[in-house]
Amino acid sequence: MKKIKTTPLAPQEFEVEQISENEANIMAYPFETGYAISLAHPLRRFLLSSSVGYAPIAIKIEGAKHEFDSVRGMLEDISDFILNLKEIRFKLLGRATETEISYSFAGPCTIKGSDLTNNEVEIVTPEAHLATLNEDSTLNFSIKIAQGIGYVASEDTHDELEDGYIALDAYFTPVRSATYKIENVLVEDNPNFERVVINIRTDGQISPLDAFRNSLEVMYAQLAVFNSEISVKAPTTIERAEENPDLKKLTAHIDSLGLSARSFNCLDRSNIKLIGEIALMSINDLKNVKNLGKKSFDEIIEKLQEFGYEVGGSLADDVVSALKKKIEAL
């Protein structure tokens, strides 16, 4: 007789198999039949569409007016040069999200990705070929590099560029491939449970595990809209407070802060569900959250400030009263 259940088995095992620096298998199990693919498929979509990367969005080449032009003494014409440039993968250093970098080369030489490395960018494809110059040629050019997700056509950025720049199609996604397979796994003599194996390969701008974490964060943020709750009827003073825009923000779920998985899980395990619960805490209260490290502490402080509030800061009395009512009703 089949055992009757009231809740599905929650997977407990999580493993990472590092195949190379830019490739890994992410494994989780055991899932009930059908559950593994239900989670793996959307995660794959988020990996391919929402992973943040860097790409050239425009280029200005001295002596060239358009992409079908040429530069004297360079073997490649401008269209081939641009195609080669798109194969070079950049990574901005520090916290910059956009930069403009100028380069100057004199022949004879062969220019590779490694020749573009400086204190602003790291090239993760150093062997990629860019151009070949003969002995009496020079090549001066400037590149605009930006951070983004997905694909952005040159037509979408053309109007924002200064004169002389050629807009480029930008392919930001650092995840080169994301595939999954579902395997059967034995649980208590039942061979019908499942294990999901997600293979992730990146271009080097981001590690496979970080790409996976980021896709989870995006997935959590997209699902947060379903966490909204129906307001409970409250006294008149509280009703007035509920119309306050501060209260609406403070009663949003912590998913809205866009925290990393580690920081989110620390708060969630401590049953902290609303942004307002953090805003009502003192600095010491937050530091005493179980398993919350300094990095997560700093991240929560920063994210809350971006949201417009301070840990240990002051809130209007009516907002505090209404907020506490909301928390008690959870």
Range of the domain at 27: 13-51+175-224
Q: Which of 125, 146, 169 is the last residue of a domain?
A: 169
188 occurs within a structural domain: yes
Cα 26 to Cα 210: distance, rounded to the nearest angstrom: 11
> Do residues 165 and 76 share a domain?
yes
- Domain end among 125, 147, 169: 169
Output the domain CATH number for residue 23.
3.30.1360.10
Among 175, 139, 149, 150, residue whose Cα is nearest residue 59: 139
Same domain, 65 and 159: yes
- 148 with 84, same domain: the answer is yes
Q: Is 112 inside a domain boundary? A: yes
Range 152-169 burial, b when 16+ CB lie within 10 A, else e: beeeebeeebeeebbbbb
In the chain, the number of structural domains is 3
Local confidence pLDDT in tens for the 330 residues of the chain: 467 778 888 888 889 999 999 999 999 999 998 999 999 999 999 999 999 999 999 999 998 888 888 889 999 999 999 999 999 999 998 888 899 999 999 989 999 999 999 988 999 999 999 999 999 899 999 999 999 999 999 888 888 888 889 999 999 999 999 999 999 988 887 888 999 999 999 999 999 999 999 999 899 888 888 776 544 444 444 444 455 667 777 888 888 888 888 888 888 888 888 888 888 888 888 888 888 888 888 888 888 888 788 887 777 777 777 778 777 776
Please report how many Cα atoms fall inside a 13 Å half-sphere around the Cα of residue 160, on the Cβ side. 9
321 located within any domain: yes
Rounded to the nearest 10 degrees, the angle between the axes of helix 208-223 and helix 261-269 is: 50
Residue that is last in its domain, among 188, 209, 224: 224
Dihedral angle computed from the Cα positions of residues 123, 125, 126 and 130, in that order, rounded to the nearest 10 degrees:
-100
Check which CATH number belongs to the domain holding 126 and give it: 2.170.120.12
Q: Please provide the DSSP assignment of 139-195 as one string.
A: EEEEEEEEEEESEE-GGGTGGGSPTTPEE--EE---EEEEEEEEEEEEETTEEEEEE
Distance CA 200, CA 209 (A): 8
Dist CA 303 CA 263 (whole Å)? 11
**181 and 115 in a common domain:** no
Indicate the residue type of 72. Answer: R
* Residue 12 contacts residue 28 (beta carbons within 8 Å): no
Q: Is residue 91 part of a domain?
A: yes
6, part of any domain? no
On whether both 157 and 198 belong to a single domain, the answer is no
> Which candidate, 214, 217, 207, 215, places its Cα nearest to that of 264?
217
Same domain, 158 and 94: yes
Same domain, 69 and 152: yes
Q: Assess if residue 2 is contained within a domain.
A: no
Q: Kindly state the tokens that stand for 194.
A: 């499942």
Q: How far is CA 177 from CA 42, 153, 220, in A?
A: 14, 21, 22
Round to whole Å and give the CA distance between 82 and 280: 53
Q: For residue 132, with 0-12 CB atoms within 10 Å meaning exposed, 13-18 middle and 19 or more buried, which class applies?
A: middle
* 187 & 40 share domain: yes
Q: Is residue 67 part of a domain?
A: yes
Q: Is residue 4 part of a domain?
A: no
